[in-house]
Chains A and B, each alone.
Chain A
Amino acid sequence: MAIDWRNYKPLLIPGIPNLHKIEVFEKNGGYEQLKKTLKSLTPEAVVNEVKAANIRGRGGAGFNAGLKWSFMPKPDGGPRYIAANGDESEPGTFKDRKIFEYNPHLFIEGAIIAGFAMHITAVYVYIRGEYKSWIDMMQKAIDDAYAKGYLGKNILGSGFDLDMYVHSGAGAYICGEESSLMESLEGKRGYPRVKPPFPAQKGLWGRPTTINNIETLANVPLVIKNGADWYKSIGAPTHPGPVLYGISGHVNRPGVYEYPTGMSIMELINDVCGGMRGGKKVKAVIPGGSSTPPLRGDQLEGVCMDADSLRTAGSMMGTAGMIVMDEDTDMVDALWRISHFYHHESCGQCTPCRDGTGFLEKTLIKIRDGEGEMRDLDLLLDLCTQMEGRTICALADAAAWPVRYTVTRFREDFEKRVKNTVFALA
């Protein structure tokens, strides 16, 4: 199915100058969906509509946001929270900062609607500490929303109260994992929590909590405005809606683009991004952030950016942060760097991740430096098996997948490297 992307008008971040200013946002229909929600919708109706729209989480896991909302228990009068995940630390991902910069109020409006739907008392917007400039922008937008009565007590006379706070991270990839994010919000080392209990039962400060990605929440006003059916008609049927593609690497025009889901990867590279730098061939594409398995250039024909198509191709949608590598790329070096990242970012709580990420990296350094042997390739795959699914959170998987799929899909690069060594083949 081809998407008429050339005629697509961005919905999450329309090209309207100064849209980040609340007056401009209001002038362009901003906060109308909040008003509509508070005036004429019940919380259940909002949850059902969002569930029907099938907004699949844009943070990587791709879970139906409305369904997630429906896991929240009945209100008991105590506090309930949304933690909005703007940690955005997966290498290749740089999209939420566009929302903070160009359309923060769409996210705020979506978060307030979500808050209304789940009887939330406070929204904590967790933004990675490195995004200091964007944290300031977000804080300004929240302050403006308070000033206009969209946040605080008795929002727009509805009787609904909601607070929204920005919490700055301080440099830890793991805090993008939802339970680690909650630990960090609670002022602790970002160690992921054992589940169960799930956040909906026992989240922030032991209270029911839903964690949604920034972009996910920004989709909510679109659904409220146009309905679930309209939303589902955008992009890939099983993974619908607009999505922010962050494209980086060896393309001519890298950047963040908003198009429907289901865009063809080759079209994104060749047409949207103006092709490969220097007219080179595509060697590899990491479709959704560094933890998603890389696809070979010759595997890309007909592969689209949605969960189903990517699963069939042998990868995942992740954060839609696409990293494109050209034919000159040294895959051993590239994989080492990815492994270095996960080794550096492992929180150190679970054994297989704490010591496995280091084992992977050190083995890759050995191969990179020409000291590897054939058996090291098998060792790498074995170590992946020993890490996958064996830890509290998915960081070990995120570290293992790129290794497993780079080594298997680009095996000749690795074999070439080890064969050149002075060590005999095992």
Chain B
Amino acid sequence: MEMTYEFSKEDLAEIEKIKAKYPDKKSPVMPVLWLAQEKFGHVEPEVQQLVARTLDLPAAHVYGVVSFYTQYYGKKMGKYVLDVCTTTSCQLCGGYEILHYIEDKLGIKAGETTKDGLFSIQSVECLGACGYAPMMQITNGVYCNHLTKEKVDTIIDGLRAGRMPEFESIPMPQHLDESTNKIG
């Protein structure tokens, strides 16, 4: 089924706001791609062309940008993209064990999507949560830190039930009151 992608009036108003932040017409392409990806779930070629048309940019330029940045989904992904960090600190603290556990659990390999279209797994580069390893990010959104197999089970069960994990605020250890474990 051919799908046509369009921006709504509200999207276009938002795009105008984005454009106002930059002095030229090329610069808004990244935030507008983000907006498009949030709306459509991906930025496949048809969406890239929509972005190019909307911003009056060459389609090739938009394609070049999409393919450069790993967070843009140039092709459709699962509803939940599990980006498991495996770079150094996570590697040291069991990132690959978590990755393989998720792979086995979902029956797919990193880079693949489950048949039901619910999950994709990616082994990704450092997400900047090195102290909270192993960890993963879900669909470019929330970070899940200090992963254990049990925690992964809970998260995946939750996602299956449509529950996105909540943002975990991790205070600096030196701020924690040793008795209450709270800041102050």
Contacts and interface: CB of A to CB of B under 8 A. Distances in A.
Contacts of A187: 22, 26-30, 57, 65
A341 B87 contact: yes
Given A98-B172, A188-B65, A91 B126 contact: yes
Given A168-B34, A345-B125, A130 B140 contact: yes
Nearest to B139: A132
Nearest to B184: A17
Contact of A171 (B31, B70, B132, B169): B70
Interface in B29-47: 29-31, 33-34
B68 A128 contact: no
A255 B170 contact: yes
A323 B92 contact: yes
Contacts of A344: 125
Contacts of B119: none
A415 B24 CA distance: 55
B88 A92 contact: yes
Interface string A312-327: 0000000001010100
B80 interface: no
Interface stretch (A31-39, A147-155, A245-253): A245-253
B173 A167 contact: no
B86 interface: yes
A15 B33 CA distance: 38
A307 interface: no
Contacts of A338: 88
A170 B71 contact: yes
Given A101-B169, A172-B68, A341-B126, A325 B92 contact: yes
Interface in B66-115: 68-72, 83, 86-89, 91-93
Contacts of B70: 170-172
Given A92-B89, A170-B33, A337-B88, A189 B128 contact: no
A369 interface: no
Contact of B175 (A10, A91, A190, A247): A10
A337 B57 CA distance: 38
Contacts of A258: 172, 174
Contacts of B130: 91-94, 246, 248-249, 254, 321, 323
A337 B162 CA distance: 34
Interface residues of B, number: 54
Interface in A28-64: none
Contacts of A131: 128
A233 B64 CA distance: 49
A188 B172 contact: no
A353 to B, nearest CB: 15
A370 to B, nearest CB: 18
A246 B89 CA distance: 11
Interface in A324-351: 325, 329, 333-334, 337-338, 341, 344-345, 347
A101 B172 CA distance: 11
A187 B137 CA distance: 25
B88 to A, nearest CB: 5
Contacts of B172: 10, 13, 15, 98, 102, 255-258
A93 B64 CA distance: 28
Given A97-B128, A205-B24, A254-B132, A167 B31 contact: yes
Contacts of B29: 187
Given A185-B27, A329-B92, A94 B141 contact: no
Contact of B140 (A89, A132, A189): A132
Nearest to B137: A130
B64 to A, nearest CB: 5
Interface of A: 10, 13, 15-17, 79, 88-94, 97-98, 101-102, 128-133, 163, 165, 167-173, 184-190, 205, 246-250, 253-258, 272, 286, 290, 321, 323, 325, 329, 333-334, 337-338, 341, 344-345, 347
- State the 9 A-B residue pairs at the shortest beta-carbon distance, nearest first: A170-B69, A171-B70, A248-B130, A15-B175, A171-B71, A254-B131, A248-B89, A187-B29, A91-B126
Given A101-B169, A187-B26, A187-B28, 15 more contacts: A15-B172, A17-B184, A90-B126, A94-B131, A102-B172, A130-B137, A130-B140, A132-B140, A168-B34, A187-B30, A248-B89, A250-B92, A255-B131, A255-B170, A290-B88
24 contacts: A16-B183, A89-B126, A93-B130, A94-B132, A97-B128, A101-B169, A169-B69, A170-B34, A170-B72, A171-B72, A172-B68, A185-B27, A186-B26, A187-B22, A187-B27, A187-B30, A248-B92, A248-B93, A248-B130, A272-B174, A290-B126, A323-B88, A334-B91, A337-B88
Interface of B: 21-24, 26-31, 33-34, 57, 61, 64-65, 68-72, 83, 86-89, 91-93, 125-133, 137, 140-143, 167, 169-175, 182-184
